[in-house]
Copies of this chain bind each other. A is one copy, B any other.
Amino acid sequence: MPPRALRTPLTLAVLSLLRERPRHPYEIQALVRERHIDQVVKMRGGSLYDAIDRLADAGLITTVSSERAGARPERTVYAITAEGTAVADALVRDYLRTPAQDFPVFATGLAHILTLDAATAADLLRERREAIRATHDRTARQLAADTAGLPRVVTLEVEYAQALRVAELAWLDRVVRDIDAGALPWLDVADAPPSGAP
């Protein structure tokens, strides 16, 4: 099992794109944007080049050629190796099978909600709800348009994110209503440390 740094969402994206055919880093970057993979995988600036270097050092990908068009910087083309394919496969299985410890920042916000008063909290949650509702509606339209062209299996991750959005909307609705109705008793900050379970 290769080290942690070779088993990240970004390295998986790289391996997958190289699985289709050899490419150079910039092409990968462009594809990640074009196919909206960056909505699912965090990719910022130079970290892609770093990831590719690591993969090459570990032998999961190899240099195929080094073209140069004019006096522009060199383009190194990489291809996936057998080990790379194996790792990619194992990674996909892992990601699907094992629920990971994600740390959504909203949960952090909720853990500290008692530093605010009830009315303010309700207002903020309402704002959040509207923002999510907007994203939801946009995604719904997009998914509807897709069903006319794309097979469902290629947009599963969008469908999943949408399902979570629906659930969060419903949850926010309930909580906001409860706060407004006084059905969610508030506490004085001094009494209650902003914590989780006991």
- Interface size bracket, A side: 35 or more
Q: With A and B bound together, what is the CA distance between A187 and B124 in angstroms?
A: 43
Q: With A and B bound together, what is the CA distance between A184 and B150 in angstroms?
A: 12
> Do B153 and A187 have beta carbons less than 8 Å apart?
yes
Shortest Cβ distance from A149 into B: residue: B198
A46-54, A58-66, A71-79, A163-171 - interface stretch: A163-171
* Cross-interface CB contact of A108 among B40, B127, B192, B198, cutoff 8 Å: B40
Q: Chain B contacts of A132 at CB under 8 A?
A: 99
Q: Chain B contacts of A196 at CB under 8 A?
A: 35-37, 39-40, 154-155, 157-158
Q: Chain B contacts of A87 at CB under 8 A?
A: none
Greatest chain B CB density within 10 A among A19, A104, A121, A163 is at: A104
Q: With A and B bound together, what is the CA distance between A164 and B103 in angstroms?
A: 13
Task: Decide: A113 near B156, CB < 8 A? Known: A95-B108, A102-B104, A132-B99.
Answer: yes
Q: With A and B bound together, what is the CA distance between A142 and B197 in angstroms?
A: 8
Interface string of A103-140 (1 = CB under 8 A from B): 11111111111111000110011011001100100000
Q: With A and B bound together, what is the CA distance between A99 and B195 in angstroms?
A: 21
> Do A16 and B93 have beta carbons less than 8 Å apart?
no
